[in-house]
C-alpha cells in the first residue's frame, strides 16, 4: 500500500465510514452527496486492498480489518485535531470551530437557543449542531468524538467523562388560562382529580416525578397523555383541561399563554450538567465554548 495517496481528507472519510458503518449516514455526517462518498469509498478500497464495508442481511458490516482500523484511525486523527486546535486564535470573533451538542428538547429550549444566538455575535465562525440526547449511547458518542458536549443529569453522565454543574431546576404546574378548576392556585385534591400530560423520553410511560411524591402521601393522579418531548406540552395544555408538571424554565416561557402555579406538594427538582470527554478539555475552542455556555446558564 502506498500511503502517499491517502491524504487527510480521505482519512477523515474513512473515519466517518468506519464510525457509521453506513454510506448514507457517513455522507450526511461529512456533508457530501452519496455518489461522492461512494467514489471515495471505492478509492479507499483500492488503496487499502480491502472492501472495508460488505453487504449483510441488514445493511452493511465492517470487515475484520476495518474493525481493527476504527479506533486506531480515530485516535490518530484526534491527535491531528489537537495539534491544529492548540494553535487556533484565542479571539472568539475569529475562532473557527464546530460544536456538536447532545441535549433534550427541554435543554435546547432552556439554554441552547440563547447560546446559539449569542454566538452569532460573539463567535460568528463557530457552527453549532444540536443532536437529540441518547443516554444509552452517550458514552460511545463521546468516546468516538461524534458529539463534543452533552447536557444531561449528572446521574446520566458516563462515569469516565468530565462534567460541570450548570444549574438546578425545579417544577411548576401549568393549566390553560380560564381553567375552571385552577384559578392561580391548585389544591392537592384538584391536582389528583384533573387529567395530566406527562413526558416520557423513552415514549409510552405514564409516570413521572410527581408520582413518587404522590405515592409517599398515599395519593395518585390520572395521566391521560404521554409524550416524548417537553415542548409540545404547553400547546396541548393551553387547548384542553389537562394540566402538566414541567420544568419551570419552560413553564415561565409560556406564562403569557398558560397559568403557571406551584405544585401542591413537594416534588424534588434536578440538576443539569455539561458532560464531555477528557480529550477536549484543553482544546482552546471547546474550552471557551464550554465556559461561555456555563456563563449563560448562570444568568438564568
Number of domains in the chain: 3
- Residue 145: give its domain's CATH number: 3.40.190.10
Q: Spell 28-64 as b/e; 16+ CB within 10 A means b.
A: ebbebeeeebeebbeebeebbebebbeeeeeebebbe
The partner residues of 234 in beta bridges, in order of sequence, read none
189 and 123 fall within a common domain = no
Whether 2 maps to a domain, the answer reads no
Same domain, residue pair 99 and 188: no
Do both 180 and 162 map to the same domain? no
Same domain, 76 and 221: no
Q: Per-residue DSSP letters for 176-210?
A: ETT-TT-SS---HHHHHHSEEEEE-TTSS----HH
pLDDT digits (tens, 9 = 90+) for 28-84: 888 788 888 898 899 899 888 899 999 887 778 999 999 999 888 888 887 777 666
Mean pLDDT across 89-107? 88
* Residue 1 placed within a domain: no
Q: Check whether residue 161 and residue 278 sit in a common domain.
A: yes
- Strands 270-276 and 60-62, sheet pairing: unpaired
**Which pLDDT does position 34 carry in this prediction?**
87
Q: Dump pLDDT digits (tens) for 177-227.
A: 999 999 889 999 999 999 999 998 766 789 989 999 999 999 999 999 999
Indicate whether 235 belongs to any domain.
Answer: yes
Percent of the chain with pLDDT over 90: 59
Residue of higher predicted confidence among 79 and 290: 290
pLDDT at 64: 92
Is there a single domain that holds both residue 145 and residue 262? no
Do 254 and 205 share a structural domain? Answer: yes
In this structure, the answer to whether residues 196 and 124 fall within a common structural domain is no
Task: Give tens-digit pLDDT for 244-258.
Answer: 999 999 999 999 999
Same domain (yes/no): 127, 137: yes
In a domain, 294, yes or no: yes
| Average pLDDT score, the chain | 90
Residue 52: predicted pLDDT: 92
- For 143-161, the pLDDT digits (tens) are 888 899 999 999 888 888 9
Q: Give, rounded to a whole angstrom, the gap between the first and last alpha carbons of the chain.
A: 56
Domain with 154 in it: 94-169+271-299
pLDDT of residue 90: 64
Domain match, 186 and 136 both: no
Q: Using alpha carbons, select from 297, 5, 18, 25 the residue that is nearest to residue 168.
A: 297
Helix residue ranges per DSSP H, 111-197? 113-122, 138-144, 188-193
What pLDDT shows up at residue 76? 86
Report if residue 67 sits inside a domain: yes
Answer whether residue 74 is part of any domain: yes
Q: Are residues 131 and 200 in the same domain?
A: no
Amino acid at each position: 500500500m502506498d500511503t502517499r495517496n491517502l491524504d487527510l481528507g480521505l482519512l477523515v472519510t474513512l473515519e466517518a465510514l468506519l464510525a457509521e458503518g453506513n454510506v448514507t449516514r457517513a455522507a450526511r455526517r461529512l456533508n457530501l452527496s452519496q455518489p461522492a462518498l461512494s467514489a471515495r469509498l471505492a478509492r479507499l478500497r483500492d488503496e487499502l486492498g480491502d472492501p472495508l464495508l460488505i453487504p449483510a442481511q441488514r445493511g452493511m458490516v465492517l470487515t475484520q480489518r476495518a474493525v481493527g482500523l476504527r479506533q486506531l484511525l480515530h485516535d490518530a486523527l484526534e491527535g491531528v485535531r489537537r495539534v491544529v486546535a492548540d494553535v487556533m486564535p484565542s479571539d472568539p470573533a475569529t475562532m473557527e470551530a464546530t460544536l456538536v451538542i447532545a441535549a433534550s428538547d427541554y435543554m435546547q429550549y432552556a439554554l441552547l437557543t440563547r447560546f446559539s444566538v449569542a454566538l452569532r455575535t460573539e463567535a460568528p465562525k463557530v457552527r453549532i449542531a444540536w443532536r437529540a440526547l441518547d443516554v444509552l449511547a452517550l458514552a460511545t458518542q463521546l468516546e468516538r468524538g461524534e458529539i463534543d458536549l452533552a447536557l444531561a443529569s449528572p446521574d446520566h453522565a458516563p462515569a469516565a467523562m468530565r462534567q460541570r454543574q450548570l444549574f438546578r431546576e425545579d417544577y411548576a404546574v401549568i393549566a390553560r388560562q380560564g381553567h375552571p378548576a385552577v384559578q392561580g392556585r391548585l389544591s392537592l385534591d384538584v391536582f389528583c382529580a384533573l387529567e395530566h400530560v406527562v413526558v416520557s423520553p423513552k415514549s409510552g410511560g405514564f409516570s413521572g416525578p410527581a408520582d413518587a411524591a404522590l405515592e409517599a402521601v398515599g395519593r395518585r393522579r390520572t395521566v391521560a397523555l404521554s409524550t416524548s418531548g417537553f415542548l409540545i406540552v404547553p400547546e396541548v395544555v393551553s387547548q384542553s383541561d389537562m394540566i402538566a408538571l414541567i420544568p419551570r424554565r419552560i413553564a415561565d416561557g409560556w406564562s403569557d399563554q398558560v397559568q403557571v402555579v406551584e405544585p401542591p406538594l413537594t416534588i424534588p427538582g434536578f440538576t443539569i450538567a455539561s458532560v464531555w470527554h477528557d480529550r477536549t478539555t484543553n482544546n482552546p475552542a471547546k474550552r471557551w465554548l464550554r465556559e461561555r455556555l456555563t456563563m449563560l446558564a448562570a444568568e438564568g
